[in-house]
Amino acid sequence: MVDPRLAPTPPMGFNTWNRFGIEIDERLMTETIAAICEEGLRDLGYIYVNLDDGWMAPERDALGRLVPDPQRFPHGIGPLADAAHKAGLKLGIYSDCGHRTCKGLPASYGHEREDAQAFAAWGVDFLKYDWCHVPFEDFPGRTHAEVAQILYGRIEAAVAAAGRPMLLSMCNWGDGEPWRWGRGLAHMWRTTDDIVDAYRRETSGWSGDLSTIFRLNAVLDEFAGPGGWNDPDMLEIGNGGMTTTEYQTQFSLWCLMAAPLLIGTDLRAMSEDTRRILTNRELIAIDQDPLGRQAVLADDRDGICLLTKPLAGGDVAVGLFNERDAAAAYAIDWRRIAPTAAREVLARDLWTGEQRRVRGREDCPVLPHETRVWRLSAALD
């Protein structure tokens, strides 16, 4: 059983994959650690700095140990973990259930114990564990869900035995519905294929665009909660494939869905818009709310989605997402979704900062692909 106290709220940080793929090295990591601190992101809660696929050398060493790529990480992983810790951050690493990672590098099948020990010895705090090249033939008659439970169980036990607390991120793309059995084996579980940096893609492929991923994850609200979170994959904000409105939508929807917030862009070169989105404190507070509830898709008609997320202390977050390509308006019945006993309700728009008293129903305009978010609270007088 993983320790649920490692993820009382959805994990936040940075991961190399979406922006850099396997083009990663220790300089990128060191500069990212510096940027997270300088940009004030650490103090907003983005504390994990995570390596994804590509950090390891093409083969294990003569003793069977997993080794960092000597060109890209000449000083190894330990010093990076030390640098992260010195900066008040935590270091994440990546491996895979199978013989090889998705990029064909050595992975942990049959080496779970020694790899977990190496990660612990290096000072690693977070392990993303992928699902490529799994030898299903070794598990005749077993379903994918059963094999996943065996292999994620093995790494969970190996990490526990290694003795260093590590947040476990299960990355099996929703195969076998991990939201039904992932709690206890990991602190977060991917619910979908990989996200691509596009709002909507006409061709269907292995990976999913923003609106597809949102729809797959939005209906899984009952499975998220403190200690274990649905993971609709990482943020694409800042990577260039979507408009600012669409990136605001990703951030809004991810916060409403209590998703892990793993930044996937180059933090050394953020635009003003990217910075503004990723540092929206009030949205982050919705994601990190201690009650730990994922928003419910309360209404879903003609491409307009209404999401409501109860918050600790009785407030409610409300999201209005216009999935369509044309501007729209939706009549929100504030009193129906407001904090129950309140006679009058304050609605604070978390993107504009505008705050007003609301009552009854009101037509709320919403731009194409936009998501508006309000925080409702009881008006005190």
Residue nearer to ligand GAL on the CB measure, 92 or 228: 92
Residue among 286, 219, 233 at smallest CA distance from 256: 286
Instruction: Give the list of residues 6+ apart from residue 1 with CB closer than 8 angstroms, or none.
Output: 156, 184
CB of 103 to ligand GAL, least distance (A): 5
Residue nearer to ligand GAL on the CB measure, 262 or 317: 262
Residue among 326, 321, 325, 322 at smallest CA distance from 308: 321
CB of 57 to ligand GAL, least distance (A): 16
Residue nearer to ligand GAL on the CB measure, 217 or 377: 217
What's the CA gap between 87 and 82, in Å, rounded? Answer: 9
CB of 94 to ligand GAL, least distance (A): 6
CB of 193 to ligand GAL, least distance (A): 7
Residue nearer to ligand GAL on the CB measure, 35 or 102: 102
CA 107, 22, 236, 48 torsion: positive or negative?
A: positive
CB of 53 to ligand GAL, least distance (A): 3
Residue nearer to ligand GAL on the CB measure, 17 or 334: 17
CB of 107 to ligand GAL, least distance (A): 10
Residue nearer to ligand GAL on the CB measure, 177 or 194: 194
Strands annotated E in the chain:
12-15, 48-50, 90-96, 126-130, 167-170, 188-190, 229-231, 261-263, 296-301, 304-310, 316-322, 328-333, 345-349, 355-358, 361-366, 371-378
Rounded alpha-carbon distances, angstroms, from residue 161 to 109, 119, 154, 170, 331: 17, 12, 10, 18, 54
CB of 195 to ligand GAL, least distance (A): 8
CB of 259 within 8 A of CB of 225?
no
Known catalytic residue at 125: no
Tokens representing 73? 């990480």
Q: Which residues bind ligand GAL (CB under 6 A)?
A: 17, 52-53, 101-103, 130, 132, 171, 173, 194
Q: Write down the catalytic residue from 52, 53, 125, 130.
A: 130
Q: Write down the catalytic residue from 194, 299, 300, 349.
A: 194
What's the CA gap between 148 and 97, in Å, rounded? Answer: 8
CB of 292 within 8 A of CB of 224?
yes
Residue nearer to ligand GAL on the CB measure, 132 or 277: 132
Task: Specify the pairing of strand 316-322 against strand 12-15.
Answer: unpaired
Known catalytic residue at 69: no
Give 3-state DSSP helix, strand, coil % of the chain, rounded to 5. 30, 25, 45
Instruction: Give the list of residues 6+ apart from residue 144 with CB closer than 8 angstroms, or none.
Output: 136, 172, 175, 176
The C-alpha R_g of the chain, in whole angstroms, comes to 21
User: Hey, which residues are catalytic here?
Assistant: 130, 194
